[in-house]
Amino acid sequence: MIRPPPVIGHRGAAGLAPENTLASFRQAAALGAGMVEFDARLSADGVPLVFHDDGLARTTNGVGEVAEMSWAELARLDAGAWFGADFAGEAIPRLDRVLTLCLELGLAVNMEIKPDAGREAETARVCLEAVRGAWPAEAEPPLISSFARSCLEVARDLAPAWPRGMLVETVPPDWRAEAGRLGCEAIHAEHDGLESELVAEITASGLLVMAYTVNDKQRQQDLWEMGVTAVFTDFPYSS
Ligand code: G3P
Ligand code: MG
């Protein structure tokens, strides 16, 4: 059974540094976080990288869709200046670079697989292969999550020993059957939809509940008291 720390840095430390950049993971570690979440996806030419949105406009100086650009094109973009002048020059990182940095920093990892429509199996396979190439067998394996059930099926089949989290916005009525089928150890749910009875029912079944994205300290406390194991926050700290 996985034992994540109570506080997980969301996209690194997305409230304090440009999300999903090396600066963001360094910031999370500097704040004492024990674990970070990030979003893994593919470039047009199949390079696994760390980036949240489908489109480039919000968090880079580029335009268009990540899935339509080659890694060579994406690597030239600035993914830091939008957040603040101090971060100008931060790049979109490759997945293997994020993994090695997290290892260097001693950060446990939750890799969320974010596939483009129609590339679910490829995205999962390539991202899992990147983890296999970068992550020492003796280290605590990354927690793999996705909103895409087909990605979790690939993870279950290719890396059965790596723990999985079923990512949902609202906990669906068939959570028990689906988590069982996918061999998940946790349900990662949007925190607004969580209340005591539901959390108690899920945890009584042997699954963990992890809640995103929780930046309010009082709400974090309330969720832990409800039985939620971990909260994803943009402002991580030592816990
Ligand atoms: O993995 C938790 C959370 O990151 C899921 O939502 O949109 O922030 O990737 P999103
Ligand atoms: Mg995410």
CA 205–ligand 2 middle distance (angstroms): 25
- Mean per-residue pLDDT of the chain: 98
Q: Look at 1 and 53; give whichever has higher pLDDT.
A: 53
Each residue's pLDDT tens digit, 100-114: 999 999 999 999 999
In a domain, 239, yes or no: no
CB of residue 188 inside a 6 A radius of ligand 1: yes
Q: How many CA atoms lie within 13 A of 116 on its CB side?
A: 18
Ligand 1, atom 3, lies closest to the CA of 212
Q: Check if the beta carbon of residue 197 is closer than 8 Å to that of residue 215.
A: no
In a domain, 24, yes or no: yes
Ligand 1, atom 6, lies closest to the CA of 212
Question: How far apart (Å, rounded) are the C-alpha atoms in residues 88 and 33?
Answer: 24
DSSP letter string over the chain?
A: -----SEEEETTTTTTS-TTSHHHHHHHHHTT-SEEEEEEEE-TT--EEE---SBSTTTSS--SBGGGS-HHHHHTS-SSTTT-GGGTT--PPBHHHHHHHHHHHT-EEEEEE-PPTT-HHHHHHHHHHHHHHHS-TTSPPPEEEES-HHHHHHHHHH-TTS-EEEEESSPPTTHHHHHHHHT-SEEEEEGGG--HHHHHHHHHTT-EEEEE----HHHHHHHHHHT--EEEESS----
CA 79–ligand 2 middle distance (angstroms): 17
In a domain, 1, yes or no: no
Residues 159-168 have a mean pLDDT of: 98
CATH (domain of 28): 3.20.20.190
Each residue's pLDDT tens digit, 188-219: 999 999 999 999 999 999 999 999 999 999 99
Would you state the torsion angle of the CA atoms of residues 172, 1, 28, 66, taken in this order, to the nearest 10 degrees? -50
pTM score above 0.95: yes
Taking the CA of 214 as reference, the closest ligand is 1
User: Hey, which residues are catalytic here?
Assistant: 10, 52
Is the pLDDT confidence value at 1 over 90? no
CA 212–ligand 1 middle distance (angstroms): 7
CB of residue 145 inside a 6 A radius of ligand 1: yes
In a domain, 188, yes or no: yes
In a domain, 25, yes or no: yes
CA 61–ligand 1 middle distance (angstroms): 22
Taking the CA of 53 as reference, the closest ligand is 1
Each residue's pLDDT tens digit, 61-75: 999 999 999 999 999
Is the pLDDT confidence value at 98 over 90? yes
In a domain, 29, yes or no: yes
What is the model's pLDDT at position 35? 98
In a domain, 2, yes or no: no
Instruction: Match 């279950």 to its residue by tokens.
Output: 156
Ligand 1, atom 4, lies closest to the CA of 10
CB of residue 41 inside a 6 A radius of ligand 1: no
**Domain that includes residue 208, residue range:** 7-233
In a domain, 238, yes or no: no
Is the pLDDT confidence value at 80 over 90? yes
Ligand 1, atom 7, lies closest to the CA of 52
CB of residue 24 inside a 6 A radius of ligand 1: no
Q: What is the ipTM of this complex?
A: 0.99
Taking the CA of 39 as reference, the closest ligand is 2
Q: Give me the number of domains the chain comprises.
A: 1
